[in-house]
Structure 1
Amino acid sequence: MKQYQTALFIFRRDLRLEDNTALIAAAKKAHCILPCFIFDTQQIGPNNPFRSSNAIQFMIESIQDLNEQLKKKNGSLYLFYGTTDRVVEHLLKKITIDAIFTNRDYTPFSIKRDEKIKKLCIHYKAIFEQYGDALLNEPEEILKQDGTPYSIFTPFLKASLYHPIKKPDILPAIDFYQKKINESQRAKDVFKKIMPKINTQIHVHGGSRNARTLLKSLKTYINYQKQRDFPSIPTTNLSAHLKFGTVSVRTVHNAMSKILGIQHPLLRQLYWRDFFTHVAYHSPFVFGHAFHKKYDSLPWNPNKKDFMRWCTGTTGFPIVDAGMRQLNATGFMHNRVRMIVASFLTKDLHIDWRLGEQYFAQQLVDYDPAVNNGNWQWSASTGCDAQPYFRIFNPWLQQKKFDPTCSYIKKWVPELKKYSPEIIHAWQKQSTQHTTHYPSPMVDHQKESARAKTIYRNAKP
């Protein structure tokens, strides 16, 4: 017997019908479901310093795809614009809602938002039901024997692998809410309001249909371990789909296990995603502060011109500039190059990792707060299980090793197209001998890496 007559389901980073944990629970417990998406002005508004237009574009494409899925099941997605608590309170006042179902999120913003919803449910005598869905394992499930969270990935992975991963679940039949709600926004109007300009070069497009297509190509990554660091070789492109939940992480894990094998190194990346999310959940101070607090006092370089040269890809380091230009154009950057440019910003230019974290957030189509923060703190050597501060990426060696023919560099730095790889790989020596609009290296890597080691070594607790 079903417990509720009408339930509100709030879609967030779970923009799909299949294997959607909270939606499946709602379908089993409620006679009628009102599916909605709330464009929270605190997140998508211009005052959010971490707002990513590329991520919003991907999200909108995914919402459009989700609405098409709902229409096939005789439903439609109700869209609302405003702060989540005000929208929810209005619906609770206007409609008899017995329960609200959501999937869990883990950032400080999300937790505070859901606390407000819980209080509203208590006030209006509705039940709030929330489920874990976005991760392979919940933060409370993977803990050390003393009950504290892991801060080193390898033992975290070992403990995580003991937990069986649930198989993808199927959505039961649902009766969707059919009545008109005046405050619900027309899709065309709200999309135009928050996304007036479309990026035609965006790296990956949203929607469950596109996610399923990518899953079908997983067999092409059988040699992932050998090819993963070469930026000219395509990646799975699943990161944005996992962030916005157009496909469940369980479906991805299941597909990778079947197609590539349970020991394939690509599955390890799913656990890194869990790890960074667990760290951010258990230690929310990492949003704004170093995990290792002694590095909060590092004397960062405040030079805005240096930072802008990094942002615009005009540093004179070809692999760095190629990565930044790819990011600026498409909202995406290969993972190896992300590590190179992050190391360059923090250890060659000595600029605060938090500025890089924010700039990436503003550009990335796959922006995930916890993962972005974890990766930046890893590169800056300020985070848990981070790259040791004395291991610094050499951009010249990195580009020679992972872009030997300069195909990636020449694609994104056309000023260097006419030059041979030998010249490009020795640009620090060759730049003054050639007439081009491309700049000479802005710093001496050897000198700055030595300086970075001294700065980190002298950090005081």
Structure 2
Amino acid sequence: MKKQISICWLRRDLRLNDQAALYHALMSKYPVLPVFIFDPEILNKLTDRDDRRVLFIHNQLKKLNNELKVHGSSLLVIHDQVIPAFEKLKEEFDIKEVYTNHDYEPYAINRDSKVAEYLSVTGIPFHTFKDQVVFEKSDIMKSDGTPYTVFTPYSRRWKEAFFKLSLPEYPSELYLSKCLQIEPLSVPDLENIGFEFPEFNSAKYNISEDLIRNYHLTRNLPSVNGTSQISVHLRFGTLSVRYLVKLAIQWNEQWLNELIWREFFMMILYHYPHVVHNSFKKKYDQIEWRNDEKEFEAWCRGETGYPIVDAGMRQLNETGLMHNRVRMIVASFLCKHLLIDWRWGEAYFARKLLDFELSSNNGNWQWASGSGCDSAPYFRIFNPTAQTLKFDPKLIYIKTWIRDFKVDYLKPIVQHEFARKRALERYKIALNEIPI
């Protein structure tokens, strides 16, 4: 006779503490089997067989499995398309309910809709919960019921709503003994899902009171360890956003604002899914990009002759991360100095960033190009040299990532003033072609 169970389907919530879906599953009357599915629909789109994100997920799954073993349970990891994975689970278990947390990206919404339909046909309830954000979808709207498209009033309304909110608590870690008692299972090796073991330093974060209280003073200095490095942990849900917001409320409003920016971009993606492939401000799709492939390749390699740009790209290529201030500089340089379509840069970041999140990556690239909601005006063009003097005057960051650095190490790919004037002319022509 098959065991009657509830399934907690883990996705972007790879932790056992303060986890909404897991908590609700554990409160059900059936033992809970935590399941993670390595979905080929996602994996096959990854360009690099040594993608660091897959290793990060793999390492976290092993960690969760070891934690569950202490409670006599285990994590079941499946490598298959989602519907066939559930079909296999149904063959082995009498599944009474499935619990999972909301995801907001277009692929995930479509996938979850298909899973909900499949489970409905088979008579299995599908319960989903808000977990990776404080406010989602249409939680924060203007008084007329339409979405905000400017960050400042959105953040103001977010804060007003938060202080009226009783933040939910999901102490799932206290009830892990309710997980299904089974023989320990092993997490499949990376080779079994078509990936290699890349060189990888664990993504360490710092959410100490000292760092967060001083965040507004240090966040723009790439040579200083002045940022918390939580982005990858938010991306994969290894840290609870509710816990992080509580820290931010206590210690630093600027750090809180960065968490709110993340939810703002998620809300934009949910309400305006066209931004995945097109500019939020449609008139910006009229820009005639140069899209010089050799210049793009030089930018990717970190060989533009602009040290702050090249250091950032080399950090990205080597580690999968890049300092936030430098991300703005390199993105502006690609779009404005080289007149290369922001979508090219967005796609390269999507391929390389350990903390890649579609909504934030898209939102920030459109911000840099001027094409997004609440963007920098198109005539704001970062001067890489001025940015270096302001944020890395002793060249500490630059010399960290350009190890053979010397003055004039590479001839600049383009002169700043020439590029600035060219960008302004090209933008003006495009934006005047159709009514604003």
TM-score class normalised by the smaller sequence: over 0.9
Give the 3-state SS of the residue equivalent to 1:29 in structure 2.
Answer: coil
| One of 258, 267, 270 as aligned partner of 1:281 | 270
With over 3 angstroms needed to count, the CA separation of the structure-2 counterparts of 1:309 and 1:190, relative to structure 1, is closer
The gaps in structure 1 that reach 5 residues or longer are 425-430, 432-437
Q: How does 1:370-389 map to 2 (within 5 A)?
A: 370-389=359-378
Aligned to 2:223: 232
Residue type at the aligned position of 1:369: L
Contact 1:51 1:361 in 2 (8 A): no
* 1:253 partnered with 2:251: no
Return the alpha-carbon distance in structure 2 between the equivalents of residues 52 and 371 of structure 1. 23
Aligned to 1:75: 73
| One of 155, 160, 179 as aligned partner of 1:157 | 155
Contact 2:98 2:126 in 1 (8 A): yes
Contact 2:336 2:381 in 1 (8 A): yes
Give the 3-state SS of the residue equivalent to 1:187 in structure 2.
Answer: coil
Shift of 1:49: 5.5
Contact 1:168 1:251 in 2 (8 A): no
Shift of 1:145: 1.2
Contact 1:52 1:363 in 2 (8 A): no
Aligned to 1:56: 54
CA RMSD of aligned residues (A): 2.0
Contact 1:50 1:358 in 2 (8 A): no
Matched residues, number:
424
With over 3 angstroms needed to count, the CA separation of the structure-2 counterparts of 1:50 and 1:109, relative to structure 1, is farther
Q: How does 1:86-235 map to 2 (within 5 A)?
A: 86-164=84-162, 166=167, 168-171=169-172, 172-173=174-175, 174-179=177-182, 186-190=186-190, 193-200=193-200, 202=201, 204-205=202-203, 214-215=206-207, 217-234=208-225, 235=227
Residue type at the aligned position of 1:377: Q
Shift of 1:5: 5.1
Shift of 1:326: 0.4
Give the 3-state SS of the residue equivalent to 2:9 in structure 1.
Answer: strand
Return the alpha-carbon distance in structure 1 between the equivalents of residues 350 and 254 of structure 2. 26
Shift of 1:31: 2.0
Identity, % of aligned positions: 39
Shift of 1:454: 1.5
Shift of 1:188: 4.2
Give the 3-state SS of the residue equivalent to 1:88 in structure 2.
Answer: helix
| One of 274, 278, 295 as aligned partner of 1:306 | 295
Return the alpha-carbon distance in structure 1 between the equivalents of residues 381 and 49 of structure 2. 30
Return the alpha-carbon distance in structure 2 between the equivalents of residues 193 and 271 of structure 1. 35
Return the alpha-carbon distance in structure 2 between the equivalents of residues 281 and 251 of structure 1. 24
TM-score when normalising by structure 1: 0.88
Residue type at the aligned position of 1:454: E
Aligned to 1:456: 427
Contact 1:85 1:113 in 2 (8 A): no
Give the 3-state SS of the residue equivalent to 2:36 in structure 1.
Answer: strand
The gaps in structure 2 that reach 5 residues or longer are none
Residue type at the aligned position of 1:175: K
Contact 2:190 2:196 in 1 (8 A): no
Residue type at the aligned position of 2:232: A
| One of 311, 325, 330 as aligned partner of 1:336 | 325
TM-score when normalising by structure 2: 0.92
Give the 3-state SS of the residue equivalent to 1:325 in structure 2.
Answer: helix
